[in-house]
Amino acid sequence: MEKINMKPDWVFSPQPMYIIGTKNENDIPDFCVITWLGFSFDKTPHLMMTIGGSKLTKTNILRDKKFSANMITEDNLWLADYFGNTRGEDKVKNQVSYTYKWGKYVDVPIIEECPWAYECEVKKVIELDNAHLFLAEIKNIQIDKKYESMDMEKIDLTELKPAIYAPYNYFSIGKKLGEMGDWVKYGGNIK
């Protein structure tokens, strides 16, 4: 397979999408969409997230050191699109209907329309040139009751239906292709 070189850019960076929930100084919830997000483990599960530029959500996290990360799915994509295309610094984001409740372990707002949410406490902040990288311990995970019988060691993404972001476009998860170790069945002859 012949390859060409490209300048590193936003050209291809498929990412999970999360609605990040914080609390403003006046105790009103604030939500925005972040896609620069991943997971890590250091004795306990952690979420890593980068927020660039000026955002009310980032200001709230820097002040309070906590946030929620609410999974964006096919079912709540357009709510997320609204949060991603409006600025909390400009006005309260209440032009569309949604519901929230407060976290069970961390005092952060959780979007009721999201089937999977993390309650997080920031353990480390790394200041970059025009962004902040947050390393946060996951203190609690809230999932929709309909998923309580799901095998949490082999989560079926086709059942959760997470939305994926690739610059300026949204995608869904297609079909399941196999399981870990299936290379023996499907690619065992590759040399």
Domain range enclosing 38: 15-186
At residue 34, the pLDDT reads 93
At residue 181, the pLDDT reads 79
Better-predicted residue by pLDDT, 8 or 12: 8
Tell me if 191 is assigned to some domain.
no
At residue 3, the pLDDT reads 92
144 within 8 A of 57, measured Cβ to Cβ: no
Structural domain total, the chain: 1
pLDDT tens string 74-103: 999 998 888 887 766 666 666 778 999 999
Question: Which long-range contacts does 181-185 make (Cβ < 8 Å, 24+ apart)?
Answer: none
Tell me if 65 is assigned to some domain.
yes
User: What CA–CA distance (Å, rounded) separates 81 from 126?
Assistant: 27
Q: Name, in order, each residue with C-beta under 8 angstroms of 117's C-beta and a sequence gap of 6 or more.
A: 68, 69, 70, 71, 110, 111, 141, 142, 143
153 DSSP 8-state letter? T
The beta strands (E) that lie in the chain are given as 15-16, 18-23, 29-34, 37-42, 44-52, 66-71, 100-102, 109-111, 116-127, 131-143, 163-166, 169-172
Tell me if 81 is assigned to some domain.
yes
At residue 155, the pLDDT reads 86
Range from 9-18, 69-78, 82-91, 121-130 carrying the lowest mean pLDDT: 82-91
* Dihedral sign computed on CA atoms, order 97, 83, 102, 148: positive
Look up the CATH number of the domain holding residue 71: 2.30.110.10
Q: What is the mean pLDDT of residues 18-38?
A: 93
